[in-house]
Amino acid sequence: MPKANETLLEIDLNALDNNYQYITSKIKPGTKFMAVVKAYGYGSDSVIIAKELIDLGVDYFAVAYPSEGEALRGASIEAPILVLHPLPINFELIVNRCLEPSIYSLRMLEEFIAFTEATGNQENRLENYPIHLKFNTGLNRLGFAENDISKISEMLAKTKSVKVKSAFSHLAASEDINEKKFTLKQIETFQRLSEELILKLGYKPLLHCTNTSGIINYPEAHFDMVRSGIGLYGFGNDKEENKHLKPVGTLKTELSQIHTVKTGESVGYNRGFIAKKLTRSATLPIGYADGIPRSFGKSTGWVTINGEKAFILGDICMDMMMVDVTGINCEEGDEAIVFGSSVTAEELAAAINSISYELITGISQRVKRVVCRK
């Protein structure tokens, strides 16, 4: 790619292909693959990512909210889409766009059944609309309890409007070897409740509970389908696994202007940096409105310019930030890389005790997206 002459996010589809091939190499043939493309495809571009994954052979997509599924449908993506956190106010949108809701409580199940039974006319009622039952096995975020299964089966037996497409759960600490006992307990619980659910339903829905780390660390829990989010975008929650993955996104910008700051002079709002010696300061057209947290200010974070670290001076502004280029061979118009393959989002996020997820999903939609194949 030519050097950046504005703030942009490069989306490397070859990196995505690599990550998909690596993750799917961990699963048995015939196991379905659900790609998680919520949060604009983890901060990249959900439509671009989804279209590439369709070409690669993905079976299912998952989004957080119905509006995210609607965006995919608007881009002519026809693959099944699971909505992980629907709300009753969105039921009409879900059905109109052929999205598949995660149902996680008796209240949600009752309301969705009532909605589907009231949809259409007497000659054209909804039948067997696909739903996904979410079970809580230890994350304690969303999900049915195991003792809800009898009530679930009773409610489903009274209607033809919906049918269970899958039953699933979510592992809380699959990346942490110190929590292996807890994770195995979650898997055991999911297996047990799945068997009871299948017995009560009289048919077998798809079963899935592994995220990226679960796919890698717990092959015995792959069941009928696996889900991957962060791994597709280049992070495996493990240094060794990261060697096999490639970051999809590279956030870069250019040096707008270089200043010479004399001893005692300051840089930025509230005089956040005061020079103790003659300093070269470069201003970049990227700030917290673009997704760079203010906590990276005052030399906590950095960018890379011509292979060298340039630490952030003072406080980050809404649309700009200043970095120390003293001793760095650079000039106005040169490229600055915030994160990518050389300095990863995971490495940078660690400087503020955060994680790659937060940094990459926080990239503002005003940042230009550019597709490439490196």
Supply the residues annotated as catalytic.
Answer: 38, 269
Contact between residue 214 and residue 239 where contact means Cβ atoms under 8 Å apart = no
| Residues in contact with 210: Cβ distance below 8 Å, sequence separation at least 6, in sequence order | 171, 174, 218, 221, 222, 223, 226, 227
- The percent of the chain in helix, strand and coil, each rounded to the nearest 5, is 35, 25, 40
Contact between residue 34 and residue 9 where contact means Cβ atoms under 8 Å apart = no
| Distance of alpha carbon 140 from alpha carbon 195, whole angstroms | 21
Instruction: Give burial (CB, 10 Å; 0-12/13-18/19+) of 148.
Output: buried
| Distance of alpha carbon 21 from alpha carbon 253, whole angstroms | 30
Tracing tokens 């026809």 back to the chain, one arrives at 78
Assign 260 to helix, strand or coil: strand
Cα dist. 65→100, 148, 171, 292, 315 in Å?
11, 25, 20, 24, 34
